């Protein structure tokens, strides 16, 4: 701690300088987060001091969280779904597996079956919950092989996990097949739609991945990714409205007597941000945004392929991957575990940026 504090001017000069050290979104092609929509920012600022960890003090904000769950449940074909706002996909995934583990606490050595493409948050979840993680190989299109998943099921299996919009290749796992396997073996099924949940419902031909499939018990979706909300905004949804109550613990000195959340203090601001943007854009607005991102994805793939840079996959959502090991320095891209160039076509990645990138990639080999 400083003995005597800075003046506001000194402080904000310093902060402005630090902000300039951050990268310009103009060159960020690797992130699943994006610039928050101005409407989300405005709503966020109004609710800055609210704490959903003590909802009796903030009933207005708490009702916004209920509305957010209702909007997302409706989008996923179950308006009465249960759920709550999390800090993101990681917390949603941990809580889903925690819920299944508690509901099957008679098992001594429980395991969960996940695709090899699963986000690393499942590793954290299995570590914390002492679950055996059984990875299932992918098919040639980088999707979970459902037959191989079924082969992994045994008496200690509590759940299957499918990914709707994989982090690395933008693929949607065969959730319909997983749903059938889950029902046949009486297993829980968690769908990780952290990224794809705000994309798939708005595609011209949506993939089946949500509560319309009878085997799906829980869904993770992140408004702070394609929902264009402020960070941190995630959501965990459950088929039964009060399923999460199995996680309740006593909270003696709060306005509520019990809670099932992982965090205690929870920000209301990003919940307001997430709801604001849903209600501002509506289905039509999201369809337009998603159509633009998908068009940009197709353009990037076509553009690089004219230079002989081949796609690694034909993605289901706006993530493009390539057999390529070099890009001009100033662009921030990422690389998959298999070494493919990976670009996420977020709303801030406008067409002119894509054209500039394609042109520079062409000049690289010239």
Ligand X SMILES: *Cc1c(COP(=O)(O)O)cnc(C)c1O
Q: Least Å distance between CB 306 and ligand X? A: 29
How long, in residues, is the chain?
366
For 125, phi then psi, to 5°, come to: -60, -45
The reply on whether position 163 binds ligand X by CB under 6 A is: yes
| Piece of the chain touching ligand X by CB under 6 A; list 67-75, 88-96, 197-205, 206-214 | 88-96
The reply on whether position 342 binds ligand X by CB under 6 A is: no
Strand partners, 235: 85, 221
Cα distances from 267 to residues 36, 48, 171, 235, 304, in angstroms, run: 16, 8, 31, 13, 42
Q: Which two tokens stand for residue 248?
A: 């309740």
For residue 113, the surrounding DSSP H or E stretch is strand 111-115
Among 172, 194, 198, 358, binds ligand X (CB under 6 A): 194
325 closest CA partner among 338, 339, 315: 339
| Piece of the chain touching ligand X by CB under 6 A; list 51-59, 84-92, 245-253, 268-276 | 84-92
* Non-local CB neighbours of 189 within 8 Å, separated by 6+ positions: 159, 160, 161, 162, 175, 178, 179, 182, 215, 216, 217, 218
Nearest residue (CB) to ligand X, 86 versus 361: 86
The reply on whether position 195 binds ligand X by CB under 6 A is: yes
Pairing status of strand 111-115 against strand 157-163: parallel
Nearest residue (CB) to ligand X, 165 versus 268: 165
Pairing status of strand 82-86 against strand 341-344: unpaired
Q: Least Å distance between CB 116 and ligand X? A: 13
Q: Least Å distance between CB 117 and ligand X? A: 9
Q: Which parts of 293-332 interact with ligand X (CB under 6 A)?
A: none
Among 50, 121, 289, 321, binds ligand X (CB under 6 A): 121
Q: Which parts of 224-283 interact with ligand X (CB under 6 A)?
A: 234
Question: Under a CB-based contact definition with an 8 Å cutoff, are residues 286 and 294 in contact?
Answer: no
Among 37, 98, 119, 177, binds ligand X (CB under 6 A): 119
Among 36, 53, 55, 89, binds ligand X (CB under 6 A): 89
| Piece of the chain touching ligand X by CB under 6 A; list 68-76, 136-144, 189-197, 291-299 | 189-197
For residue 202, the surrounding DSSP H or E stretch is none
Question: Under a CB-based contact definition with an 8 Å cutoff, are residues 227 and 182 in contact?
Answer: no
| Piece of the chain touching ligand X by CB under 6 A; list 74-82, 99-107, 191-199, 239-247 | 191-199
Other CB atoms within 10 Å distance of the CB of residue 362: 15
| Piece of the chain touching ligand X by CB under 6 A; list 85-93, 297-305, 307-315, 338-346 | 85-93
Distance CA 332, CA 357 (A): 11
Binding residues for ligand X, how many (CB under 6 A)? 14
The reply on whether position 167 binds ligand X by CB under 6 A is: yes
Among 88, 170, 268, 273, binds ligand X (CB under 6 A): 88
The reply on whether position 353 binds ligand X by CB under 6 A is: no
CA-angle at 350, arms to 197 and 363, nearest 5°: 120
CA torsion sign for 242, 68, 284, 296 is negative
Among 61, 90, 316, 318, binds ligand X (CB under 6 A): 90
| Piece of the chain touching ligand X by CB under 6 A; list 61-69, 176-184, 188-196, 347-355 | 188-196
Among 32, 131, 262, 274, binds ligand X (CB under 6 A): 32
Q: Is 139 helix (H, G, I), strand (E, B) or coil?
A: coil
The reply on whether position 289 binds ligand X by CB under 6 A is: no
* Interacting residues with ligand X (CB under 6 A): 32, 88-90, 93, 119, 121, 163, 167, 192, 194-195, 222, 234
């Amino acid at each position: 701690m400083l003995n005597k504090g800075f003046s506001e001017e000194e402080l904000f000069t310093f902060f402005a300088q630090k902000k300039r050290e951050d990268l310009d979104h103009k060159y960020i092609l690797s992130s699943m987060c994006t610039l928050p929509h101005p409407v989300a920012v405005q709503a966020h600022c109004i609710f800055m001091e609210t704490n959903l960890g003590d909802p009796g003090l903030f009933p207005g904000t708490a009702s916004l969280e209920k509305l957010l769950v209702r909007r997302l449940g409706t989008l996923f074909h179950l308006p009465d779904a249960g759920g709550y706002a999390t800090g993101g996909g990681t917390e949603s995934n941990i809580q889903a597996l925690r819920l299944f583990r508690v509901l099957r606490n008679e098992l001594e050595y429980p395991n969960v079956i996940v695709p090899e493409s699963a986000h690393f948050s499942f590793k954290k979840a299995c570590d914390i919950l002492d679950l055996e993680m059984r990875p299932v190989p992918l098919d040639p299109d980088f999707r979970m092989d459902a037959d191989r998943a079924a082969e992994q099921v045994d008496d200690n299996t509590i759940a299957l996990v499918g990914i709707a919009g994989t982090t690395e290749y933008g693929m949607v796992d065969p959730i319909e097949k997983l749903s059938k396997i889950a029902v046949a073996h009486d297993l829980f099924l968690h769908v990780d739609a952290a990224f794809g949940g705000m994309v798939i419902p708005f595609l011209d031909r949506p993939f089946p991945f949500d509560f319309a499939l009878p085997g799906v018990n829980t869904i993770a979706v992140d408004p702070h990714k394609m929902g264009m909300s402020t960070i941190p905004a995630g959501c965990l949804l459950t088929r039964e409205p009060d399923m999460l109550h199995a996680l309740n613990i006593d909270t003696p000195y709060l306005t509520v007597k019990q809670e099932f959340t992982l965090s205690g203090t929870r920000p209301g601001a990003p919940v307001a941000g997430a709801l604001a943007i849903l209600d501002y854009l509506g289905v039509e607005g999201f369809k337009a945004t998603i159509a633009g991102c998908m068009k940009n994805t197709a353009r990037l793939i076509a553009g690089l392929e004219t230079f002989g840079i081949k796609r690694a996959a034909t993605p289901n959502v706006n993530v493009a991957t390539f057999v390529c090991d070099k890009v001009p320095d100033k662009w921030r891209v990422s690389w998959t575990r298999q070494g493919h160039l990976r670009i996420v076509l977020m709303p801030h990645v406008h067409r002119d940026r894509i054209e500039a990138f394609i042109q520079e990639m062409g000049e690289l080999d010239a």
